[in-house]
Amino acid sequence: MGRDLGSSAYGTEDFHAFAVRLRQETELLRDWLQAGQLVAAPPRIGFELEAWLVNASGRPMPENQAFLGQMNDPLVVPELARFNVELNGPPRWLADDPFDGLAADLGSLWQRCETVGEGLRIHPLMIGILPSVRPEDLGLSQMTDAARYRALNEQVLALRNRQPFRIAIRGPRESLALEQQTVMLEAAATSLQLHLQLTPENAARCFNAAQIMSAATVAVAANAPTLFGRRLWQDTRIPLFEQAVAVDSPAGAHAHGLARVTFGTGYARDALYPLFVENRQHYPVLLPENTGEPPERLSHLSLHNGTIWRWNRPLVGVADDGACHLRLEHRVMSAGPSVADVVANACFFQGLIQACCQRATPLESEIPFAVAERNFYRAARDGLAARVEWLGGRQGVLRELILEQLLPLAADGLRRFGLPEAAWRPWLDLMRERVELGVTGAAWQLAWLNRHGGSMEELVCAYRAGQQSGRPVHDWEV
């Protein structure tokens, strides 16, 4: 959950002072790692879920302040657009019935959101891209009134020499090209973000496993097949988000460092520390806010890291007692379609990570980074039908790889971690049913459009009815 800032405008001295603090805190993190001072506790998991607010007609409802005021819950916070909110789950120990617990946490919070929304004639919706959103919905007038978002928009535009953002997405059948004047296009892409606490010893292997498995997780969770009426990728969030906050002006590719939204530049090592060095050396500061906190809180390092949207992002946190821990934030999954689907996604991901970390030979030594990256973008475009490359250079359809190898691998990872089968079997069975039927959120949306035609608003209303049923998406009627 990002804090708001005290200012939306900065001068040269602010950037210089922030750079000094950022170097100091990056070096402090290095010292702590070398001294063995980071927490090495059993793993905990958590989630963030971005959601839309819509009206009864299926259109975006820019009323998050009224909604949040009624919710009055620190776990539900604003997002960039006035029609978005973010739900946060409390951390849970992976060893302590984590998936039923996650289902209870998200289920009760979502029910409260629906109840509060009903009184305001606002309907919360978890989906990767709202099919009914239009370019005119994404202007500055729809931005949440917060200094953080105003500053982000201003600084990204400054790096682009105030040139418009250009979106160009080519799908298998249709394409989209347009220009936008603000970062608000980012608000059209809403995600499920899964967290896993790491130890310094396993951090790099877990992080690399997440990168390798991102092709599978983006495909099973694909839920964004359209944008502005065009049928594009199975998960159009991926190219949309990458282009929506691109810092380079059209005149100069990569003139300002690496892409802000990225799969990364290579596999991680050394307890993820090189990624924070990369942050400092290759990413211009966007929000040079003086937090007023001592270096030991690592608040400037965290603020800067929060403006670099790797699809798998390293996080550091400092508890009230000063203990510092590492986390992995897995950002590739679309939000939704249902609470049950979200929990199945989390179970599949956590099982894969545990299995990879227990593997005698690190996967990253057998699958080149370029292959993992290529697999990811193919899976985002083509979903379960993507052709990917696996161990030994073997190639095949991703759906078959998931059914034959990755689902058993996830089960083995959770079993070897020590979880009883009852804690994870129902959720992996749900995932298997989804993959066997080939009905992801994206597939359901496209099937509905193929059968009914009609408007995108009608699709949203049909989708909302499925979501309210509480059933997983492969059980929804088309």
Separation between Cα atoms, residue 400 and residue 145, nearest integer Å: 46
Amino acid code (one letter) for 181: Q
**What pLDDT sits at residue 232?**
98
| CATH-assigned architecture of domain 12-475 | 2-Layer Sandwich (3.30)
Contact between 224 and 446 under an 8 Å Cβ cutoff? The reply is no
Instruction: Report DSSP state, residue 404.
Output: I
**What pLDDT sits at residue 8?**
62
Return the closest-CA partner of residue 221 out of 320, 301, 302, 126: 126
By DSSP bridging, strand 165-170 and strand 84-88 are unpaired
Contact between 81 and 187 under an 8 Å Cβ cutoff? The reply is yes
DSSP secondary structure, 450-466, as one string? HHH---HHHHHHHHHHH
Return the closest-CA partner of residue 114 out of 461, 464, 477, 475: 464
Token pair belonging to 112: 């409260």
Distance of CA 155 to the CA centre of its chain: 22
Phi–psi pair at 393, nearest 5 degrees: 75, 10
pLDDT-derived band at 6 (thresholds 50, 70, 90) equals low
Instruction: Report DSSP state, residue 224.
Output: B
**What pLDDT sits at residue 88?**
98
Rounded average pLDDT over 227-232: 97
Exposure string of 406-430, with b = 16+ CB inside 10 Å and e = fewer, is bbebbbbbbbebebeeebbbbbbeb
Give the three-state DSSP class for 101. Answer: helix
Separation between Cα atoms, residue 158 and residue 308, nearest integer Å: 16
Kindly report, residue by residue over 110-165, the tens digit of the pLDDT. Answer: 999 999 999 999 999 999 999 999 999 999 999 999 999 999 999 999 999 999 99
The dihedral through the CA atoms of 11, 12, 15, 16 has a sign that is: negative
pLDDT-derived band at 205 (thresholds 50, 70, 90) equals very high
pTM: 0.96
Based on its alpha-carbon atoms, the radius of gyration of the chain, rounded to whole angstroms, reads 21
* Residue linked to tokens 């105030």: 162
Token pair belonging to 232: 């594009």
Nearest-10 Cα torsion for 180, 310, 367, 195: -130
User: Percentage of the chain with pLDDT > 90?
Assistant: 95
